Chains A and B, each alone.
Chain A
Amino acid sequence: MCLGVPGKITEIYEHNGFLMGKIDINGVNREVCLAYVPEAKVGEYAVIHVGFALNLLSEDEALETLRLLREIAETEP
């Protein structure tokens, strides 16, 4: 149930008073509700759950995590 998939925001607009948008999930375009990520910009990534963006993804944080993991993976036992 709590599954979410990352997607790239390609369009932002308002519909029925709610912030909506289009999101590209692996080449598939979907309409999603962006009401809870009002700061979203086109080109940013968000995690999508039941048609809603849960939160925006931070590229800086993702790169930092990967950098740390690479460091851990390369540590000689």
Chain B
Amino acid sequence: MKYLSEFREANLIRGVLEQIHQISTQHWVIMEICGGQTHSIMRYGLDQLLPQNIELVHGPGCPVCVTSIELIDKAIAIAALPGVIFTSYGDMLRVPGSHNDLYSIRANGGDIRVIYSPLDAVRIARENPDKQIVFFAIGFETTVPANITSVLLAKSLGLSNYSILVSQVRVPPAMHAILNSPNNRVQGFLAAGHVCSVMGYWEYLPIAEKYHIPIVVTGFEPLDILNGIRMVVEQLENRTYKVENAYSRLVTEQGNIAAQSTIENMLEECDRKWRGIGLISLSGWRLKDEFAEFDAERRFSVESITPEESPVCIAGLILQGIKKPHECPAFASMCTPEHPLGATMVSSEGACSAYYKYGRKAMAI
């Protein structure tokens, strides 16, 4: 068992697709929450293999895309301070702030380093005791245990030159926001498998119940995604509204208890602004007071900038499943991965970047 090739087997994919064609009798709108799933769908062309009446819309599950412009501006301001080494996951460097991006700070001499793991940031802090090391801790529930464990490690090593700029967001409040919107079109969800590997899916039971909406925890391989879609369609056709698990090799209802208890010990819920969407109450996490010394927002006072968004970018509507990337007037003309107007064109998980990369440019999907 390699846990990869088995879930890409063409014969099984054909069979599951056939079943979806068989059971679907009407138009259904299904949202995959996670940007990683959006890219799998485009990469394997799954959207083009589905029956025409199954419409996939792409959710807000891309932390690079939803990190607020205020926090990006703050990151840029901190990274430009003398004596700071700013560390980040790669995609964040190209995300446009109000006036520039992190790359432009680096081009002007700022010490900005792309890291693979938050533990690399702690290593950099150890190696540079005379510098302040700041890590841009972005992410959904999947990434939060890794991000905050870097603080535990820094603490246990007695490092006083390490802090994190926290932009942690949570999926369930975003689902409520999407479903409460008067423009909502979503009738079923593919829940993000890796988010659920940490959090389980107990949080989704009241959502399915309240909004009468099927939710299926789904993995990332083509067979996983098609099976998730099949299970959602089956529920929609049968008028059932349950939470089901199509990724049981990794996800359990209760999730990873050890990770959840670290989250509980170190973080508290807070309101967060989502780029393009706006404020969603209690949709984020921040460090508790006892970890205040590791909170870059409290360590560095930087002047707040009045944020300015591109007036043409419709990323917010795309992230809520209301519009598709090719419906944006700037798509693939004024806005490209080389010159992005919005974060959804930057991130390797953004819906606009997926449409651009896999050639969904002008066709109606």
Contacts and interface: CB of A to CB of B under 8 A. Distances in A.
Contacts of A77: 18-19, 22
Interface in B53-101: 61-64, 89, 91
A74 B19 CA distance: 10
A57 to B, nearest CB: 5
B142 A16 contact: no
Contacts of A33: 117, 119, 146, 149
B352 interface: no
B256 A55 contact: yes
B11 A73 contact: yes
Interface string A1-17: 11110100000000011
A63 B143 contact: no
Interface in B308-342: none
B248 interface: yes
A55 B197 contact: yes
B134 interface: no
Contacts of A61: 248-249
Looking at chain B's contact residues, the main secondary structure is helix
B156 A2 contact: no
Interface residues of A, number: 37
B15 interface: yes
Contacts of A58: 248-250
Contact of B16 (A57, A59, A62, A69): A69
Contact of B1 (A51, A55, A62, A74): A62
Interface stretch (B2-10, B273-281, B354-362): B2-10
Interface in B95-135: 116-120
Given A47-B194, A72-B15, A54 B250 contact: yes
Interface string A38-50: 1000000101011
B248 A49 contact: no
B363 interface: no
A52 B146 contact: yes
A33 B64 CA distance: 23
Interface secondary structure of A, over-half rule: mixed
Contacts of A66: 6-7, 12
28 contacts: A1-B36, A1-B91, A1-B140, A2-B139, A2-B142, A2-B349, A6-B3, A16-B153, A33-B119, A33-B149, A36-B145, A50-B116, A51-B116, A52-B146, A54-B259, A61-B248, A62-B3, A62-B249, A65-B249, A66-B6, A69-B12, A69-B15, A72-B15, A73-B11, A73-B16, A73-B18, A75-B15, A75-B19
Interface of B: 1-4, 6-7, 11-12, 14-16, 18-19, 22, 34-36, 61-64, 89, 91, 116-120, 138-140, 142-143, 145-146, 149, 153, 156-157, 192, 194-195, 197-198, 220, 223, 227, 230, 246, 248-251, 256, 258-259, 262, 347, 349
Given A33-B149, A36-B259, 9 more contacts: A1-B138, A1-B143, A1-B347, A2-B35, A16-B153, A49-B194, A54-B197, A59-B249, A66-B6
